[in-house]
Amino acid sequence: MRIGILALQGAFAEHGAMLDRLQVPHFEIRQVNDFLQAPPDGLILPGGESTTMGKLLRELSLLEPIRQAILAGMPVFGTCAGLLLLAKKLENDDRRHLATMDLCAQRNAYGRQLGSYETEGAFADCGTVPMVFIRAPHIVGALSEEVETLAQVNGRIVAARQKNQLAVCFHPELTRDPSIHRYFLQMVQSR
């Protein structure tokens, strides 16, 4: 198994460090050839700034190959801005990026000051996990019945899955808890 990590901007190195701890081979995707030469078994889209990442994905001609691979079933894991890249609809932004996941999300959903905090919450069948939110989006709702809710905090959906796509509003790569990365690796393995 080899995991690709989109490394255009944002917290990509931290995902790499988590995969190192789990002893899972991974590589960084910076150019379209990094992706096309040896397509990964699973792809991580890190947190950062979704607008910048979306712009770079287009400029580097990475948007369409990644989009097609996701639609063909490649497992993908988007954290925070990564979730915004996946969402089909952004409530407070006209831009769309990969737009492969039946989610409506809201950017900077907690306001600028309240946007960063840490809590704990139940995630799928993984028990309680730490959740670090940084100018985080939240999931306003699912756009189809294929989307399952995996976690909620204060009545808001903060993690969801649609078949091969996993998206979380928080940053599991900034904690010591590997549960959510393990959950994603299971998705990759069982493909």
- Residues 109/137, Cβ–Cβ less than 8 Å: yes
- Is 10 marked as a binding-site residue? no
- Among the listed residues 47, 75, 78, 172, the single contact to ligand GLN using CB under 6 A: 47
User: Please, which residues bridge with residue 103 across strands?
Assistant: 142
From CA 32, how far away is CA 172, in angstroms rounded? Answer: 26
C-alpha–C-alpha distance, residues 113 and 111, integer Å = 6
49 is in an annotated binding site: yes
Q: Is 48 in the site for ligand GLN (CB under 6 A)?
A: yes
| Residue 16 binds ligand GLN (CB under 6 A) | no
Q: Which residues contact 95 (CB under 8 A, 6 or more apart)?
A: 51, 54
Of 15 and 135, nearer to ligand GLN (C-beta) is 135
CB of 47 to ligand GLN, least distance (A): 3
Check 15, 80, 97, 138 and give the catalytic one.
80
**Structural element, H or E, at residue 72:** none
- Of residues 131 through 150, those in contact with ligand GLN by CB under 6 A are 134-135
| 80 in contact with ligand GLN (CB under 6 A) | yes
Contact 131, 159 (CB under 8 A): no
Q: Which is nearer to ligand GLN, 49 or 177 (CB)?
A: 49
Check residue 106 for interaction with ligand GLN (CB under 6 A).
no
Nearest CA to 38 among 29, 46, 47? 29
Active site residues: 80, 171, 173
Instruction: Give residues in contact with ligand GLN (CB under 6 A).
Output: 47-50, 80-81, 84, 107-108, 134-135
Instruction: List binding-site positions for L-glutamine.
Output: 48-50, 107, 134-135
